[in-house]
Chains A and B, each alone.
Chain A
Amino acid sequence: MKAAALLAVLLALGTTACTERDQSLYQGKVQNGEPAYKGTGVSAFTAPGWTPGDRNSWEQELKTRAQRQNEYNRVN
């Protein structure tokens, strides 16, 4: 019984070397943990109209600015 258990442990340890390491293609990860909506901390350059740290207001500000590229929104 003891020998069988020992053999099982040895087999388990011995076969771990046969496993393959992950070879999946590298997928780029976000290297900077700080997302853009956190802001730069420099209020002088930060666009007015949104609150740094507030993701929704940041997204809304970018949408508003993107619409400024749409001249069909202009009155004249």
Chain B
Amino acid sequence: MSIQVSSVRFNYGPRNALDNLSFALQPGGFNALLGPNGAGKSTLFALLTRLYAMQQGKISICGHSIRQHPTEVMQQLGVVFQQSTLDLDLSVGQNLKYHASLHGLSGRAAQQRIETELQRMEMSDRIHDKVRSLNGGHRRRVEIARALMHSPGVLLLDEPTVGLDPHTRLKLNQHVRNLCEQYNLTVLWATHLIEEVQPEDKVLVLHKGELKAQGTGSEICAEHGHESLTELFHHLTASKEVCA
């Protein structure tokens, strides 16, 4: 399994953010983590990336436990956070070089990886530009290039299209799908925008820290008797709101 999450619970004081969450993702393929704001997506990402310490349960990435083998886990993870984490005053190349060095790469090896990833993102001509001068879509591409610098097996993207216009959003989504297909990456794409999810995608629906549905888009729609993912999503996430 690329990502294995078993019985994970996490709370902020008295408030449960993740409640007995369990799922497993096969290697390769685009997986959508769908949930409204406050569903627990970012908390799950913080646990997967070791930014938060585990309270209960187990997580393993590419067969490595994040508790016992943090080094191997971090080598296998590429991450694009919801909030941009690029250094605006540095150039695209300097940002990527910094990331390469954090993964132990330097010199020619780092330069080659930078060129490859920028080429892949069609950003080679912007290598010397300051990040501050890039638009939102290009910044996101640089962040994806950065996340792939160390050739990870798993790419995590936490609402990567936040703040982008619909056209750029669609292009970015398509771009990641292409990467996923070409390089057999396991992608976990967190979003609350259903239009970013396709019927054949593997989908995890998260609401108030609980996993409400899991399977391909069309499978879970059939299972719950809904015609579209939009309907299903509203059903799964609205019913609890009423109860609350």
A binds B: no
B residues engaging A (CB < 8 A)? none
A interface residues, Cβ below 8 angstroms from B? none
